[in-house]
Homo-oligomer: A and B are copies of this chain.
Amino acid sequence: MDANEIRPAITANRVPTPTLERLATYLKCLHDVAQAGVTTISSAALQEMAGINASQFRKDLSYFGEFGRPGVGYHVEDLHDRITAILHMDVDQRMLLVGAGNLGAALAGYTGMSDERLHLVAAFDNDPARIGRKLGQLDVKPVEAITAINAELGARIGILAVPRSAAQSVAVLMIAAGVRAILNFAPIILRVPSHVIVRNVCVTQELSVLCYHLEAMPTDGTDPQREG
């Protein structure tokens, strides 16, 4: 079965977001073991590596039909390619970045994206001191030009790396320029039309979860809940 055959069924399903997040974790593990020259992996080894229990793992993969062979495990490259196709990471995706400060520079230099088919194609800022500078391979453009520039580029993913105070207005500009999916790093809940998807990366939220677990952790050193 190739990637094209399974796509319609996937699209029809409503796959829970946590499943999608875990699939991306499995992909990262499979990438790492493939780099190490491993060609097959047992489901137990993959579960341990991803920090996910067996029943959750089976349930996650069950959304997408049969995987693996009993007693043999998974062919690393096959499973990697299947999950890549499920997540639609097998097609090139163009991305815009708004915010060329420290965070924008970190994202532009992020090596985790270089393995993927995710391409940062333009970077914007509203600060005259930053416009015209290089951010990685890109020249920083004025944010007012985003619609004109994206008319050529056709990017549908936007990365929002601006301060909280600017985030909502920049999101509006991005959406007007054709962006349909926003990765938001500002600590604000964006108001967007229903056809636009937002994922928030919120450092405070992540730290809240750590604070909870730190305090809830038994003093005997065992661990209430592991994160994948």
Q: Identify the A interface with B (CB < 8 A).
A: 7, 10-11, 14-15, 17-18, 20-21, 23-25, 27-29, 32, 49-51, 86-89, 91, 93, 95, 101-103, 105-107, 109-113, 115-116, 118, 156-157, 163-164, 180-183, 187-189, 194-217, 221-228
Contact = CB atoms under 8 A, between A and B. Distances in A.
A102 B113 contact: no
Contacts of A199: 206, 209-210, 227
A205 B25 contact: yes
A24 B205 contact: yes
Nearest to A181: B210
A208 B87 contact: yes
A195 B217 contact: yes
Contacts of A7: 215
Contacts of A225: 14, 17, 197
Contacts of A207: 93, 95, 113, 116, 118, 157, 183
Contacts of A227: 17, 197-200
A208 B18 contact: no
Contact of A110 (B203, B205, B228): B203
A214 B180 contact: yes
A24 B210 contact: no
A14 B224 contact: yes
B223 A197 contact: yes
B210 A183 contact: yes
A202 B22 CA distance: 11
Contacts of A101: 106
A221 B194 contact: yes
A109 B102 CA distance: 9
17 contacts: A15-B216, A17-B225, A20-B212, A24-B202, A24-B204, A86-B212, A88-B214, A88-B215, A95-B207, A111-B164, A111-B187, A113-B203, A115-B204, A194-B223, A197-B210, A197-B213, A200-B228
